[in-house]
Amino acid sequence: MTTLPPAPLLLSLESAQVRFGAQQALQPLDLQIHRGERIALVGANGSGKTTLLRLLHGLIVPAGGRRELHRLPADERLPRAAMLFQRPFLLHLSVWRNLMLALWLGRVPRDERRARALDALARVGLQSCADRPARALSGGQQQRLALARAWALQPDILFLDEPTASLDPSARREVEALIAEFAQAGLTLVMSTHNLGQVKRLATRVLYLEGGRLVADRPTSRFFEAPPDDPLPPEAVQFLKGELPWNT
């Protein structure tokens, strides 16, 4: 029997914490993210999910402890990351120009940009919208454009902050399907969401936060159905009870 080598470590936090003025938004926490993981951050409003995503992405510098990106063993480069927000930030430009601008900002060589943009638009099914004003697209299409923009940058890790929260059910399904395809293609995902059905469908691992503390970190199946010898902390049990039913 062959044993698969462990997936490479991409990103880690060591006793990393975040403060906003006097407020401790994240208590010191340790975390390791390996290639291929699909991690869901769950917890009530204000529990620290967005703060943790921003810390992981490097948008916030920890007030203590450290965040480290780890070189990929295959080619010794640092992992690339991209982030998707609940409402995409799009400029008053065409879909195509929004994409090209992101590639320019991402320092993608000029001669690669066109092919990457075409591939990304095809990936999210927006080829026919290339010349339309990005801000005139529907909410679901805008989020698909944001996914195309992230895809075009060829990230290893994709951070998603409630990516479907402001979408109607059909757009939500479309965007969720694309996120699943991205994961299939090998992207590592870290996503905050209030939709526990989505957690069950997409995530391999769940981090439960409460009041800025990481209370539970376990495989998805052991989060929703904790075995008797490894029960969930009571805070997480209460949270799950309050969030029933899960399949929305």
Nearer to ligand ATP, 56 or 158 (CB): 56
39-47, 61-69, 105-113, 195-203 -> range binding ligand ATP (CB under 6 A): 39-47
Q: In terms of CB distance, is 53 or 124 closer to ligand ATP?
A: 53
The answer to whether residues 164 and 183 touch, using CB atoms and an 8 Å cutoff, is no
The pair phi, psi for residue 183, each rounded to 5°, is -65, -45
Q: List the x/- string, 81-110, binding to ligand ATP by CB under 6 A.
A: ------------------------------
Q: Which of 3, 4, 6, 45 contacts ligand ATP by CB under 6 A?
A: 45
What SS3 state is found at 3? coil
Query: Which residue, 82 or 191, is less far from ligand ATP as judged by CB?
Result: 191
Q: Which residues sit opposite 17 in a β-bridge? A: 64
How far is CA 169 from its chain centroid? 20
Please enumerate in sequence order all residues whose Cβ is within 8 A of that of 195, keeping only pairs 6 or more positions apart, or say none. 164, 165, 248
At residue 86, what are phi and psi to the nearest 5 degrees? -60, -45
> What part of residues 177-216 is at the interface with ligand ATP (CB under 6 A)?
192
Closest CB to ligand ATP among residues 47, 141: 47
Please calculate the CA angle 6-12-16 and round it to the nearest 5 degrees.
155
Ramachandran bin of 211, using left for φ above 0, alpha for ψ from -120 to 50, beta for the remaining angles: left
Q: Rule CB under 6 A: is residue 49 a binding residue for ligand ATP?
A: yes
For ligand ATP, the closer CB: 54 or 97 = 54
State in angstroms the smallest separation of the CB of 245 from ligand ATP.
19
Stretch that binds ligand ATP, among 17-25, 105-113, 124-132, 216-224 (CB under 6 A): 17-25
Q: Summarize as ranges the residues that interact with ligand ATP (CB under 6 A).
A: 20, 23, 25, 43, 45-51, 192
